[in-house]
Structure 1
Amino acid sequence: MTLAYLSNIELYYSHPDSFSGDSVKVTGEEFSHLTRVMRHKIDDDIYVTDGCGKIFTCRIIDVDKTFLSAEILSVETYENKYQNIFFCIPKLKSSERFEFALEKCVELGITNFIIFESMRTVAKSNKVERWEKILLSAMKQSLRSYLPMFHSLTNYKNILALDGTKILFEQNAEKKLSELKLSDDKNYYFIFGPEGGLDKKEIESAGTENLYQLTENRLRSETAVVFAAAKITATFL
């Protein structure tokens, strides 16, 4: 089974704990979509991911009022090429644009997110439950097998204290993103600014050696996030 073959399928998610031996139980919203929207029934084949790198081909063997059981016919395991990449994204004033950036990053393969507040952050609301649904939906839509995660809601200083390489994007930086060489043995934290960019003090506190130019043009915050995701994930192809 290859992703090319999977391109025409509908992918569902079930928590790793719902897999037992050669069967899986699907509940909640995924169950409702399977049975009430897609009208799947006993003996239908479906595709389910555990969000941990595996996609299972399954056959429905039982449908109850609140769950269905399916026999696992085969399984394919995929590598998470971007497991050491963390996108640190500030809450944007426009929730629509913020959610767009999250969705597109997941479609491109980013699986680790840290949402933070900077000195210029305007938006204050935390909609973690809604954001998690967006991540899940984007994972299934793009046939990804790793469930994206929010690691924390924090402030800028805490990100700088994390163990790993920090990359900030600054319009006038001397180094270009294409010059950055990634390795598998360390974490990389790509830090994006809100509308208006990061404050000068925040940029200085990160050190000039961590500043990179994303593009010569000025981009909206959400565009910069998606553009960076495309550039970074392309290096692993």
Structure 2
Amino acid sequence: MPNAFYGIFNENKVILDKGETSHLKIVRLKENDEIKVFDGKGNIYYCIIEKIKKNETICQIKTKETYIKKLTPEIDFYIGASKFDRMKILIEKLVELRVNNIYIFHSKKSQLKFKTIEKFKKTIIESSKQSENPVFPEVGFFDLKDIQTIKNPIVLDLTSTKSLKDELNHMSKVEKISIILGPDMGFTEEEILKLPENRVNLGDTIMRFETAGIYTMSILNYFFDRLY
């Protein structure tokens, strides 16, 4: 269950939608109870539940805080479209580990073609609430043909002989790092030739798609001491 709720600010009130109202009822919260609400932009509202309706809840704002901590460097993750259940696990953990932005791209070996981003937005909202992350990561689609425009890219590549640690030692003062993780079926040879040259190997082991992403994000947090 969420540690906070997601709401929309509207004329000095906070409105919870149908899904958030359902969560409210499941945890047996009632009118006049106090809850914490995120808007995803860093604002934290401490509210009194004013009215619980069938499909929405109206809350009166008691106090407001703004989350101002900036994690450096910013970490963007570019993820090759894969089976949704595995992508969901990865995205949930990236949110908990405070990724900044997530971009989904379709590779030739992607088993699924996602037409909308809504499933991923929902996953981010749920994970942000549970991990009490007031600033929700942005998520969107990315076209692989624009891969060369990415800032400070690091490609996860089993064929590389360079370690992630070696690469990070040259990036100690950068403001943004972009991790490129191919789909669970990997890149085609043609796609590999078009990828940025900064490629790293995660070691002498074969990791599942989602494990590789979580492992990489954890290393970045430790190396840069991002969470402190």
1:176: which partner in 2? Answer: 163
CA distance 1:19–1:206, change in 2 (3 Å) = same
Partner of 2:212: 224
Number of aligned pairs?
221
Change beyond 3 A, Cα 1:59–1:183: farther
Deviations 1:128-151 (A, max 9, x none): 222221111111111111122222
Q: Which whole-Å CA distance do the structure 1 matches of 2:99 and 2:40 have between them?
A: 13
Aligned positions of 1:181-200 closer than 5 A: 181-183=171-173, 185=175, 187-200=176-189
Amino acid aligned to 1:205:
K
Q: Distance in 2 between matches of 1:130 and 1:9?
A: 18
In 2, distance between residues paired with 1:230 and 1:178? 12
Which residue is 2:38 aligned to? 49
Match among 3, 6, 14 for residue 13 of structure 1: 6
Aligned mates of 1:67, 1:195 — CA distance in 2: 40
| TM superposition shift of 1:207 | 4.2
Show structure 1 runs of 5+ residues with no match. 1-7
Identity %: 26
Shift of 1:74: 4.2
Taking structure 2 as the reference length, the TM-score comes to 0.83
Stretches (4+) displaced over 3 A? 61-66, 182-185
Distance of 1:70 and 1:86 partners within structure 2: 35
What TM-score do you get using the length of structure 1 for normalisation? 0.80
C-alpha displacement at 1:87, in angstroms?
A: 0.6
SS at match of 1:158: helix
RMSD: 2.6
CA distance in 2, matches of 1:177, 1:218: 15
Cα 1:90–1:212, aligned 2, differ >3 Å: closer, same or farther?
Answer: same
| 1:153-164 mapped onto 2 (5 Å cutoff) | 154-162=142-150, 164=151
Please give the alpha-carbon distance, in whole angstroms, between the structure 2 residues aligned to 1:91 and 1:85.
19
Deviations 1:99-135, CA, capped at 9 Å, x for gaps: 1111111121113111112232232244522222111
Q: Which residue of 88, 101, 106 maps to 1:112?
A: 101
